[in-house]
Homo-oligomer: A and B are copies of this chain.
Amino acid sequence: MTRGRRQAPVSKKISESAVRRLSLYLRTLEELDRAGQEMVSSEQLAAKSATTAAQVRKDLSLFGSFGKRGFGYTVEELGRALRDILGLTQPWRVALIGAGRIGSALFEYRGLTHRGFQIVAVFDCDPSKIGRKWGDSMIRDVAELERVVGDLDIQIAILAVPVEAVQGVMDQASRAGVRGVLNFAPRRLKVPAGVTVKDVNLVIELESLTFALSQGV
């Protein structure tokens, strides 16, 4: 029987909610790090991440053993481990498709670059927008998507196009070799196996809010 720590997972299935919490823990750790704190207990990490100490320990135990009994976790070390688990050790190259209102907000959002997501190309289909300069680069014709994704080694696409266009753009993107997609259009996308989609849907958020509000009366 091996005794290693920080062991690779035995390929257990990890729940979506566990992964989302890991991302939260990482943000909390970064705040602690900025505040100069070196150690943190599962108790404290939980309090700052709106969960419980047991949940924190269970989540981490899915991936290995990162703490010291009696003392807690080293902020920096655990942060490194989480970045590693979440696949954040090297920056990701992202295409933004749709240079409209949401697209421009995202393009200028420092929170993304900061976390290692580099928008390396922007696409649109509107001739009046194509060629316009955004930041260092230029808005490209979405027809070039396939070529550019290959040339720039893009792995992720953010879809910020109108709902009627989104499935078509998705098809182009998956043909181009994009493996992950963040979709802002309110439609469930059909994708080939091997492509992962995450949806951001404001209306669902708002409606789950109004549900809660009208329940609580």
Interface residues, chain A, CB within 8 Å of chain B?
Answer: 14, 16, 19-20, 22-24, 26-27, 48-50, 85-88, 92, 101-102, 104-106, 108-109, 111-112, 115, 117, 155-156, 179-182, 186, 188, 194, 196, 198, 200, 202-216
Contacts of A14 in B (CB 8 A): 211, 215
Q: Are the CB atoms of B87 and A213 closer together than 8 Å?
A: yes
- Beyond A182-B209, A196-B209, is A202–B86 a contact (Cβ under 8 Å)? no
Report A211 CB to chain B, min CB distance, Å: 5
Per CB-CB distance, the 9 closest pairs between chain A and chain B, nearest first, are A87-B214, A101-B105, A87-B210, A23-B207, A196-B212, A180-B209, A23-B204, A198-B205, A105-B105
Query: What are 20 pairs between A and B in contact, CB < 8 Å?
Result: A19-B212, A20-B204, A22-B207, A23-B204, A23-B208, A24-B204, A26-B207, A27-B186, A50-B188, A87-B213, A92-B206, A101-B108, A109-B202, A112-B206, A155-B213, A156-B213, A180-B209, A181-B209, A194-B216, A200-B205
Q: How far is the CA of A66 from the CA of B199 in the complex (A)?
A: 28
Q: How far is the CA of A70 from the CA of B150 in the complex (A)?
A: 51
Contacts of A104 in B (CB 8 A): 101, 105
Contacts of A216 in B (CB 8 A): 179, 194, 196
Report A170 CB to chain B, min CB distance, Å: 14
- Beyond A156-B209, A210-B88, A213-B196, is A23–B188 a contact (Cβ under 8 Å)? no
Report A105 CB to chain B, min CB distance, Å: 4
Q: How far is the CA of A87 from the CA of B207 in the complex (A)?
A: 8
